[in-house]
Amino acid sequence: MLVNVCIAKLHRATVTDADLGYMGSITIDQALLDAAGLLPGQMVTINNASNAVSWRTYILAGKKGKGEIILNGPPARLFQPGDKVVILGEAWVETKEAKKMSPTVVFFTEKGKNPNKISSIKKGWRPE
């Protein structure tokens, strides 16, 4: 049996733009994708800490090093620049493998010019 699990989490990233005219998805800086182990086209759930909205879509890779988190299409009405979000990367895996997994969590600095500067990465992190 396959189960849907969280393999990675971008914790409290900051939305940098919202593009209502684009046809859909979320654009995430390639450096952030690399840090989390996420892939373009992969499904993610985005939870908005600013207004409690949750949205599911697929990833588009953004330019590396720009720190972009852009909600495209319909979610642009629900996610605005400056909103803090938790982005959960999903994967379907065998139950046996899922029991051994825990997500990679990417944390961000709360201050500074680039709101999506990585402060730390916890691999295999589990809450205590």
Query: Known catalytic residues?
Result: 25, 58
Q: 21-48 as b/e, with b when 16 or more CB fall inside 10 Å?
A: eeeebbbbbbbbbeebbbeeebebebeb
CB atoms within 10 A of CB 17: 15
- Rounded CA-CA distance 74/45 in Å is 14
The dihedral region occupied by 98, where left means phi > 0, alpha psi between -120 and 50, and beta the remainder, is alpha
CA angle 53, 82, 18 (to 5 degrees): 70
